[in-house]
Chain A
């Protein structure tokens, strides 16, 4: 065949909207950050040194490669500990602990980087988040991240 069939693209930000749509109570915050994707992702994709600078309540994070995949041990400002399963790749972070969920996605766009965030406190036993303040929490995370590049 001399031509090839067109294939649709699903970028990481669209991917985040897909997963969030299937999680009750989840909200996606997004905005364009005025910095190149590489610079933004250098911060957002660095779970140990970058994530805590903009995600609320993340005081320290230690990442460990295990046989079953990447694991992050996090401690909040209030001393709570969480063990996250992690999927980390360029433009994409998906982290789930027993009680928490964090999803981040980024794609290069004209004028900088489109960045999206979702997450919150999980409802046990189903794909759901406690809907309290999730939108504001994700907006605050983006405020902090954007401030690093302003």
Chain B
């Protein structure tokens, strides 16, 4: 993959095309849970930011981590741009809640884009709180509180 990144950085558009094949499933998986209905816009804007910045990526091995940070940032930005009513700012569902949810999309729609980002990083990307905080540029305590506060309230609201 290093050679593919290098070739894309040199301006080989076939390599860019191939690299896009590799990155698209990863970026769409990140953007979907955060941007929901705006997912296609978010994925497009995230990939544009990634490919525009590709020449500045010094270490090809860091590609996915670098792309993940851009995708999360763009997905939150796009989701905030067209944001509607958010009912449960501080309540994040636990993995058990998610397992029991018939429709994760409906559940995610009740959260802010920032909370959806924390949830996605934990449950889809498998990041711990410290790594998620670093990526989101917020204190670890903020991630913890977003993850754990008022879970009981969330459950009550969800089951009502």
B-binding residues in A (CB < 8 A): 1-11, 14-15, 17-19, 21-23, 85, 87, 94, 96, 101, 122-123, 125-128
Residue contact B32 to A10, C-beta cutoff 8 Å: no
Specify which of A17, A87, A126 is in contact with B11 (CB 8 Å cutoff).
A126
B145: min CB distance to chain A, Å: 23
- What is the CA–CA distance of A26 and B23 in the complex, to the nearest angstrom? 21
- What is the CA–CA distance of A21 and B46 in the complex, to the nearest angstrom? 12
How large, as a class, is the contact surface on chain B?
A: 35 or more
- What is the CA–CA distance of A22 and B22 in the complex, to the nearest angstrom? 16
Specify which of B17, B43, B101 is in contact with A19 (CB 8 Å cutoff).
B17
Chain A residues contacting B120 (CB-CB under 8 Å) are: 5
Known A8-B28, A10-B47: A3·B13 in contact at CB below 8 Å: no
A-binding residues in B (CB < 8 A): 8, 10-14, 16-18, 20, 24, 27-29, 31-33, 35-36, 39-40, 42-44, 47-48, 51-52, 54, 98-105, 107-108, 120, 123-124
Residue contact B13 to A19, C-beta cutoff 8 Å: yes
Specify which of A1, A6, A85, A87 is in contact with B39 (CB 8 Å cutoff).
A6
Specify which of B14, B28, B103 is in contact with A7 (CB 8 Å cutoff).
B28
Residue contact B44 to A18, C-beta cutoff 8 Å: yes
Question: Can you sample 22 A-B contacts with CB below 8 Å?
Answer: A1-B99, A2-B100, A5-B29, A5-B104, A6-B39, A6-B105, A6-B108, A7-B32, A8-B35, A8-B40, A11-B40, A15-B24, A17-B48, A18-B48, A19-B17, A85-B14, A87-B17, A87-B18, A126-B11, A127-B8, A127-B12, A128-B11
Residue contact A87 to B14, C-beta cutoff 8 Å: yes
Residue contact B29 to A7, C-beta cutoff 8 Å: yes
Residue contact B11 to A125, C-beta cutoff 8 Å: yes
Known A3-B103, A15-B24: A22·B32 in contact at CB below 8 Å: no
Residue contact A1 to B13, C-beta cutoff 8 Å: no
- What is the CA–CA distance of A21 and B20 in the complex, to the nearest angstrom? 13
